[in-house]
Amino acid sequence: MRTVSSVGLCLASLAVSVAFSQAPAPSTDRVGFPANYRDSFKHLLTVDRSDNGQIRSIWANESAANTPWWLPYPYGSVILFESWTSKRDAQGNLMIDENGRLMPDQLTTLFVKRKEPDFGEAYRQNRNGEWEYIAYRPDGTVQTAPQNTGNCAICHLQAGPPQDWTFRRLRFANGASGVTPQATMSQYSFIPRDLRVKKGTRVTWYNDDEIEHQILIPQFGAFSNVMPWGGSFSHLFAEAGEYEIRCSIHAGMRAKIIVEP
């Protein structure tokens, strides 16, 4: 779905296990290819996967995009994620832009899910409420046929009823960037406490705590927004030196960024 996934659809593997290939699923496409979705859907989040170079750009139609994260999605909701490959250099290393993001290369797949009355029954024991899934190629042709989407339902069981079987819901509205972080905040601590980076590095922190934090970098007078769980904040360290990092809400939370030439 910059998930349908962690919105979120689960990326269907081309090499599906025997167990997954036998998973019950619908026999017909009732989801429908959302032509011109970029003109009518709202962009929710872009997630970088630094493990495999996949970029997931998540979109939702109006009814889904306007639903508060704590409420079930209404009927008619459609969520998708675009699956992009990312650019690599001549040595095969992932290329990073000036904002610390993976650089999109080719759009390969659109994973889409739709919620309607009585949808999902064909998934049987793996049913995700009233959602059904499918994957399309960018030209609108079907890449993963309905009868092969049982693995999508199995994956989304992990999101569970509280999230209406949709991953990353809270992050759609809390300022998360989706960039791969170099550091996190957890248990009222910066992890790692001291981080060494090269000059010109954009450092991203991710709030993995259940309470809010606000990052302060005194030397720059830079503040993040108040970040709930799942929020993130990035800052470019253009010059060598040592920089103190604090949480303005919790005085005991301190860390240091050591920027090397």
Tell me the CB-side half-sphere exposure of residue 64, using CA atoms within 13 A.
Answer: 31
The yes-or-no verdict on residue 128 having pLDDT over 70 is yes
Task: Give the separation between CA 46 and CA 63, rounded to whole angstroms.
Answer: 20
Beta carbons within 10 angstroms of residue 31's beta carbon:
25
Contact 94, 86 (CB under 8 A): yes
Instruction: For the full predicted model, state whether its pTM sits above 0.95.
Output: no
Is the same domain home to 24 and 112? yes
Q: DSSP per residue over 15-28, as a string? A: S--HHHHTS---SS
Average the pLDDT over each of 21-30, 116-125, 134-143 and give the range with the smallest value. 21-30
| pLDDT score of 207 | 92
H/E run at residue 64:
helix 62-65
Q: Band the pLDDT of 173: cuts 50, 70, 90.
A: confident
Last residue of a domain, one of 130, 152, 172: 172
Residues 82 and 25 in one domain: yes
In terms of domains, do 188 and 166 share one? no
Residue 92 within a domain: yes
Range in 2-16, 221-235, 242-256 the model is least confident about: 2-16
Contact 227, 233 (CB under 8 A): yes
Angle at 240 between CA 236 and CA 243, to 5 degrees: 70
Q: Which of 172, 199, 232 is the last residue before a domain boundary? A: 172
Confidence of residue 177 (pLDDT cuts 50, 70, 90): confident
| Whether residue 55 sits in one domain with residue 113 | yes
Q: Look at residue 10 and tell me if it is in a domain.
A: no
7 found inside a domain: no
- What CATH number does residue 253 fall under? 2.60.40.420
Please check whether residues 235 and 148 belong to one and the same domain: no
Residue 5 domain-assigned (yes or no): no
Q: Mind listing the pLDDT tens digit for each residue in 80-125?
A: 999 999 999 999 999 988 888 899 999 999 999 999 999 999 999 9
Span 158-165, average pLDDT: 94
User: Is residue 3 predicted with pLDDT exceeding 50?
Assistant: no
Over 80: is that where the pLDDT of 199 sits?
Answer: yes
Burial bucket for residue 158 (CB in 10 Å: 0-12, 13-18, 19+): exposed
Structural domain range at position 201: 183-260
Task: pLDDT band for 174, please (50, 70, 90 cuts).
Answer: low
> Can you tell me the distance from the alpha carbon of 176 to that of 179, in angstroms, rounded to the nearest whole number?
8
- Picking from 146, 172, 198, the residue at the C-terminal end of a domain is 172
CA geometry: angle 246, 50, 241, nearest 5 deg: 35
User: Is there a domain that residue 160 lies in?
Assistant: yes
Q: Kindly state whether residues 166 and 194 are assigned to the same domain.
A: no
Q: Which residue has the higher pLDDT, 163 or 17?
A: 163
Instruction: Please check the confidence at residue 31 and state whether its pLDDT lies above 50.
Output: yes
Distance from C-alpha of 85 to C-alpha of 72, rounded to nearest angstrom: 31
Rounded CA separation 240/200 (Å):
9
Beta bridge partners, 56, equal 47, 83
Residues 163 and 60 in one domain: yes
25 assigned to some structural domain: yes
Same domain, 74 and 165: yes
Better pLDDT: 175 or 134: 134
pLDDT exceeds 60 at position 12 = no
Both 63 and 163 in one domain: the answer is: yes
Q: What is the pLDDT at residue 175?
A: 63
Q: Does residue 194 belong to any structural domain of this protein?
A: yes
Tokens of 180: 């791969």
From the CB of residue 33, how many other CB atoms can be counted at a distance below 10 Å?
16
Q: What is the pLDDT of residue 228?
A: 87
Q: Does 117 lie in the same domain as 56?
A: yes
Q: What's the number of domains the chain is made of? A: 2
Residue 253 lies in a domain: yes
**Residue 190 to residues 75, 170, 194, 206, 215, Cα–Cα distance (Å):** 41, 22, 8, 10, 10
Q: Rounded to whole angstroms, how far apart are CA atoms 248 and 224?
A: 10
- Answer yes or no: do 131 and 247 share one domain: no
In percent, how much of the chain has pLDDT > 90? 76
pLDDT of amino acid 2: 41
Residues 68 and 154 both lie in one domain: yes
